[in-house]
Amino acid sequence: SVRPPVKDEL
Amino acid sequence: MNIFRLLGDLAHLASIFILVHKMHTTRSCRGISFKTQALYVLVFLTRYIDLLYTWISLYNFVMKVFFISSSGYILYLMKYRFRPTHDPSLDTFKVEYLVGPCFVLALIFNYRFEVTEILWTFSIYLEAVAIFPQLFMMQRTGEAETITTHYLAALGAYRALYIPNWIYRYFTEGTVDPIAVVAGIVQTGLYLDFFYVYVTKVLQGQKFELPA
């Protein structure tokens, strides 16, 4: 299953 | 954090150090688009506004602060210290054609209709195309200093390395960020022409020259 994105990238 | 993302971030850091190094050693910002650099400041300010209300990690915090401050410093160098070496008549791409559509796209295609979310989305779209004024400038002059091509290669490699990172995260964490992925693929695609000349010419010891 695909979870919504977490904004931990730069 | 995986190896692709780490290498991508390191390439991004390297690109900034190369650019600052170029300006200091040649005491010039010749061949660098002020407009592209100004767009990066806008990208970082709109994306990293979450510094004000979110804590992710020390790594994340330090990198964000570094990208905001270094991009501001580059703008300062171009605008004040090495201003006489910048030729605005070569830097003629209209940034309105990038900022406007990116903002409209961010209003339409986003995860949530909230101010910070729209600013984040806008920064992702704008980053993808922010290199246009720089590429346009090189197209006009038909050449670039070798150090400038190293800067662009590192900058392009950064987002290219995020692509295997996203594939890796899909398989290990089950997360997909369609907005970042699509924009990142577009962004990397814009560098393909440049990468081709970089690998076949600059890395073979020749000067970066475009066919007339």
Q: Is the pLDDT of residue A2 over 70?
A: no
- CB atoms closer than 10 angstroms to residue B2: 13
In this prediction, residue A1 carries a pLDDT of 53
Q: Does B180 touch chain A (CB under 8 A)?
A: yes
Q: Does B60 touch chain A (CB under 8 A)?
A: yes
Reduced to 3 states (helix: H, G, I; strand: E, B; else coil), residue B89 is: coil
Partner-chain contact A5 B64, CB within 8 Å = no
Q: Which residues pair with B143 in a beta bridge?
A: B209
Q: Does B12 touch chain A (CB under 8 A)?
A: yes
AA letter at B21: H
**Which residues, other chains included, contact B142 with Cβ-Cβ below 8 Å and sequence gap of 6+?**
B209, B210, B212
Q: Is the pLDDT of residue A3 over 90?
A: no
Partner-chain contact B175 A6, CB within 8 Å = yes
Partner-chain contact B175 A2, CB within 8 Å = yes
Contacts of A6 in chain B (CB under 8 A): 175
Partner-chain contact A5 B111, CB within 8 Å = yes
Partner-chain contact A1 B174, CB within 8 Å = yes
Average pLDDT over chain B reads 96
What is the enclosing helix (H) or strand (E) of B144? strand B143-144
* DSSP assignment of B61-74: HHHHHHHHHHHHHH
In this prediction, residue A6 carries a pLDDT of 77
The string of pLDDT tens digits covering residues B160-199 is 999 999 999 999 999 899 999 999 999 999 999 999 999 9
Regions of chain B with pLDDT less than 50: none
The string of pLDDT tens digits covering residues B147-157 is 999 999 999 99
Q: What is the CB-side half-sphere exposure of residue B99 using CA atoms within 13 A?
A: 14
Out of B64, B174, B180, name the one closest to residue A2 (CB).
Answer: B174
